[in-house]
Amino acid sequence: MIQFLLDTDHLTLFEHGHPALGQRLARQPADSVGLAIVTVEEALRGRLGALSQARTAAQRIARYALLQASVQLVNQLPIVPYNQAAEDQLLKFKAQRLRIGSQDLKIAAVALVNKPPSSPVTDRISARFPV
């Protein structure tokens, strides 16, 4: 069961081989770390945006390689969906007028609605995002 969702910043660190993050993730059961589909969206939008700005053959080749590496990386982790329950939670967050980015709110909503009542993810999110 997924206990930890990587956000886009952590996914990027993991992709670049950040030693402390890699060590921490290595201590977790394989099926306990995943991604919200929102994180996948952000990662791929970033890669596609960079690819669309490539002006030379070398830039295109390099950016396609990065896109491919990102797709392969996200395919190694379970992906948690954004569903109606997450949308409902997002609307609750928005009604609270929290000063937090919309993508972070979506990730928090996905995490809250897809976790058991007590888990490392929900405990941290509940502290930051009033439910």
Is pTM beyond 0.95? Reply is no
Q: According to the model, what pLDDT value does residue 59 have?
A: 98
CATH of the domain at 19: 3.40.50.1010
CA distance 12 to 6: 9
Cα 28 to the center of its chain, rounded Å: 17
Amino acid at 76: Q
State how many domains the chain has.
1
Taking Cα atoms as reference points, which of 85, 76, 77 lies closest to residue 113? Answer: 85
Neighbours of 126 (CB within 10 A): 16
Q: According to the model, what pLDDT value does residue 126 have?
A: 56
Residues of the domain holding 63: 4-128
CA dihedral sign of residues 37, 85, 111, 107: positive
User: What single-letter DSSP state applies at residue 80?
Assistant: E
Q: From residue 77, how far is each of 6, 74, 81, 121 by CA, in Å? A: 10, 6, 13, 16
Taking Cα atoms as reference points, which of 70, 107, 67 lies closest to residue 89? Answer: 107
Q: According to the model, what pLDDT value does residue 124 have?
A: 57
How would you write the pLDDT of the chain (131 residues) with one tens digit per residue? 788 888 889 899 999 999 998 898 888 887 888 999 999 999 999 999 999 999 999 999 999 999 999 999 999 999 999 999 999 999 999 999 888 888 999 999 999 998 755 445 455 555 555 54
Provide the terminal-to-terminal Cα distance of the chain, rounded to the nearest Å: 22
CA distance 125 to 117: 12
